[in-house]
Amino acid sequence: MTINIRPAVPADVPLIAALIRELADYEKLAQEVRFTEDMLEAYLFGMHPMAEVVIGEQDGIAQGFALFFHNFSTFEGRPGIYLEDLFVRPEARGTGLGKGLLSHLATIAVERGCARFEWSVLDWNEPAIGFYRKLGARPLDEWTGMRLDGDALKALAGS
């Protein structure tokens, strides 16, 4: 089996959309999906891309993706990479594709001079947590994720 990790291109938008929907189904969050393919294309490949995507293929068939963007560490004075989503289709799990995607992003982080590579994982996703720990990732138990969205975001923005 041949694994290939490649940068996504605009023609991949329908594939990216399908993989995001599969991820949302797996995470039991399908009701949260609100994007359109036009939105994905604009934000991933438009004048000012907000994120990047790599596609994981096995024997030429797309079986997963990773969507990431840069953040910045004020203490380090350097950028980091934040992995927003990683997904490998069930039939390709356990074949090295997930590790390949993460390794590819770690390589990008090192090449770009990043101080760190971070992501979040749902607390119920024990298989993923175990997988990440085996790779050397450590949980940041001292941090609590916070989010503003919807009406709360608009209210704070003064809208």
Exposed (0-12), middle (13-18) or buried (19+): which is 87, by Cβ within 10 Å?
buried
CA atoms of 135 and 15, how far apart (whole Å): 28
Query: Which amino acid belongs to residue 157?
Result: A
Would residue 43 show up in a list of annotated catalytic residues for this protein? no
Is the Cβ–Cβ distance between 46 and 29 less than 8 Å? no
CA atoms of 104 and 57, how far apart (whole Å): 13
Annotated catalytic residue within 26, 43, 82, 132: 132
Active site residues: 132
